């Protein structure tokens, strides 16, 4: 069983919250540009989509690694 401090848990939560905010902002930006350009394949839309994929993968890695380990807060 992994032991983490309350500080570690707070930092983990802050990281997740920050990534979730970035993901939501990127989604909004991608939708707006796609609507404005009337294209899902415009280079700007594709670039944001690729960045969004990276952020989603990062978020998944963080949350999955934590959920697969039992954590005791000390």
Is the model's pTM score more than 0.85? no
How far apart are alpha carbons 51 and 71 in whole angstroms? Answer: 30
What are the tens digits of pLDDT across the range 34-70?
Answer: 999 999 999 999 999 999 999 999 888 887 766 555 4
Residue 73: beta bridge partners? 4
Helix (H, G, I), strand (E, B) or coil at 4: strand
What are the tens digits of pLDDT across the range 9-38?
Answer: 666 677 788 899 999 999 999 999 999 999
């Amino acid at each position: 069983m992994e032991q983490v401090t309350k500080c570690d848990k707070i930092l983990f939560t802050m990281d997740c919250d920050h990534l979730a905010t970035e993901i939501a902002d990127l989604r909004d930006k991608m939708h707006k540009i796609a609507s404005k350009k009337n294209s899902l394949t415009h280079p700007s839309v594709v670039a944001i989509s690729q960045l969004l994929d990276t952020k989603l993968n990062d978020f998944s890695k963080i949350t999955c690694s934590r959920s697969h380990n039992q954590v005791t807060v000390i």
